[in-house]
């Protein structure tokens, strides 16, 4: 919580893969607020021998995030509560990892015009 008016880099921002999942193109910023991220991940080792040289484990994750920006005189209308959920499927081998995540915005303030359903895809290579 800040009593002062903050410059843009110091303000809290909600929305995106690192705060409240389910919002990609629309964000909410303010001087005071916070967020809570919840994630439950399940991993399993690959047991089928022909696949093990390329794939060592796979998993699934479920997430629910919630955040709030407090109303003040400088962010009129751009305050309120946001929430979103996501499911992520991932696989990891000795030389690569890949994941795909499907997110959905659930609750949004009136400043956020539309619901979003972003899809995140990531591939990593290990040398």
Give per-residue pLDDT as tens, 42-68.
999 999 999 998 899 999 999 999 999
Contact 102, 86 (CB under 8 A): yes
Q: Distance between alpha carbon 76 and the CA centroid of its chain, in Å?
A: 25
For the chain, what percent of residues have pLDDT higher than 70? 93
Segment 16-39 mean pLDDT:
90
What pLDDT score was predicted for residue 110?
85
- Give the global pTM: 0.82
- How far apart CA 39 and CA 51 sit, in angstroms, is 28
- By the 10 Å C-beta count (0-12 exposed, 13-18 middle, 19+ buried), 44 is classed as exposed
What pLDDT score was predicted for residue 85?
97
What pLDDT score was predicted for residue 44?
97
């Amino acid at each position: 919580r800040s009593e002062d008016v903050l410059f843009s880099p110091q303000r809290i921002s909600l929305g995106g893969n690192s705060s409240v999942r389910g919002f990609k193109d629309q964000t909410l910023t303010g001087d005071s607020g916070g967020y809570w991220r919840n994630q439950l991940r399940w991993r399993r080792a690959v047991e089928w021998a022909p696949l093990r040289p390329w794939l060592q484990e796979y998993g699934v994750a479920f997430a629910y995030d919630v955040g709030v920006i407090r109303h003040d005189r400088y962010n009129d209308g751009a305050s309120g509560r946001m929430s979103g959920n996501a499911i992520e499927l991932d696989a990891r081998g000795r030389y690569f990892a890949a994941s795909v995540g499907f997110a959905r915005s659930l609750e949004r303030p009136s400043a956020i015009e539309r619901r979003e359903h972003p899809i995140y895809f990531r591939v990593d290579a290990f040398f």
